[in-house]
Amino acid sequence: MYVCLCKGITDNQIREAAHQGCGSLRDLRRELGVGGQCGKCVREAHEVLRDTRALTSAQSQAAATYGGPHSGATPAMPVMPIMYVPQPA
Ligand code: FES
């Protein structure tokens, strides 16, 4: 989806820029030109950037918790309560 019509920048381009290290609207403007003309795209570009950073952060935390997909570590299993069920004699 086009976010910046003046520059022809899509949400995927903004996500890719975020993955490459763009962390602010200033970075996006410098790298892609987003918001550099009419400015109508700034809010949407900021939302895409924010959502991408939040998702990347959550994925990093999950990788740190579980050691990543190639670590060989097994994710912690939830602890299930053990219930004692008396058996008939
Ligand atoms: S739509 Fe992005 S600067 Fe105009």
pLDDT at residue 77, rounded to an integer: 63
pLDDT at residue 46, rounded to an integer: 96
pLDDT at residue 88, rounded to an integer: 81
Dihedral sign, Cα of residue 45, residue 50, residue 56, residue 54? negative
Distances (CA, A) of 7 to 19, 39, 44, 49, 84: 20, 11, 14, 17, 66
Best of 4, 31, 43, 47 to mutate for ligand 1, by most ligand atoms within 8 A of CB?
A: 4
pTM for the whole thing? 0.70
Per-residue pLDDT of the chain (89 residues; tens, 9 = 90+): 999 999 999 999 999 999 999 999 999 999 999 999 999 999 999 999 999 999 888 887 877 776 655 666 666 666 667 777 788 87
Q: Which residues sit with their C-beta closer than 6 Å to ligand 1?
A: 4-7, 34-41
Ligand 1 centre to CA of 25 (Å) is 13
pLDDT at residue 75, rounded to an integer: 60
The structural domains of the chain, ordered by start, are: 2-66 (1.10.10.1100)
